[in-house]
A = this chain, B = another copy of it.
Amino acid sequence: MEIFGFDLTEILSAVLPVIGKMILLVVAYLIIVPIGKKVIEKTLQNAAKGQKSSPGRMKTLEKLLTNVFSYVMMFVLIVMLFSALGVDIGPLLAGAGVVGLAIAFGAQGLVSDIVTGFFVILERQIEIDDYVTTAGYDGVVEEIGLRTTKIRSFDGTLNFVPNRYIEGVANHSRGNMRALVDIGISHYDNLDEALAILKKICGEFENDERFKEGPDAIGVQAIDTSQIVLRVVGQTENGLQWECERDIRKRIKEAFNEKNVDMPLTQHVVLQKATE
């Protein structure tokens, strides 16, 4: 058939596969997008299973990921439709590439922040009110965000730490802590007597509830030119280690004063010479 001098069959045979392809693409799109969203959702729920605390944060993350996924798929659909219509899409891709690269440049750190933050939360490396040392900051955690973690130092400073700088976490709020007191005595003191005093003091603290593993006087830690260093070690409840150390220190000092155990004052031998 010819209409206005055009061969309809030819036109049809040119147009039909194009329309076929376009329908195919839309159908594929309608199938793939919801499946992709479900996969993201499920994966996150699995990951979050062991974790009790932050459902709100998971929601945020899920929404973020499904949004990004939808935008990318819609862009792909549009471009493929154009392509099916026979429009050369090279420049469009190039333009998208430039914009995408610009975003990537900017977002690189952001993505690292989110991924690290995700694992810090997931593995419960840090929880709010933990006392931690990480990324050169030291203090109590006030907030763990997807991008930034806030740590309150003991001097009152509030530190903002982008998550990507959290390379390792030293968490001081997990389990009992050690109380350690090193005390020096002079070379002229009676070593056995001093050790006996320390053992007696350790005994006094054994029933202290704060101690999980009674403090022990474990012996001569070091000998240097001016002192013999004795060590007392124990396990205390988390957070009470400094208080316990201060108490032990005070008790030892009092006992040593009582029993005339000398502090290790620096000692010199002086050889007098007449001036030339």
Give the interface of A toward B (CB within 8 A). Answer: 5-6, 9, 13, 17, 21, 24-25, 28, 68-69, 72-73, 75-76, 79-80, 82-102, 104-112, 114-116, 119, 123, 125, 133, 135-137, 145, 147-148, 152-162, 165, 167-172, 174-178, 180, 183-184, 187, 191, 218-228, 235, 238, 241, 243, 246-247, 249-250, 252-254, 257, 263-276
Contacts and interface: CB of A to CB of B under 8 A. Distances in A.
A165 B134 CA distance: 14
A228 B253 contact: yes
18 contacts: A17-B86, A24-B85, A80-B92, A105-B108, A106-B115, A135-B168, A157-B172, A158-B175, A159-B168, A159-B169, A160-B171, A162-B167, A219-B249, A225-B265, A265-B269, A268-B271, A269-B270, A269-B271
B116 A111 contact: no
Contacts of A153: 170
B155 A177 contact: yes
Contact of A83 (B91, B148, B168, B174): B91
A248 to B, nearest CB: 9
Given A93-B91, A111-B105, A267 B264 contact: no
Contacts of A79: 91, 94-95
Nearest to A267: B269
Nearest to A36: B99
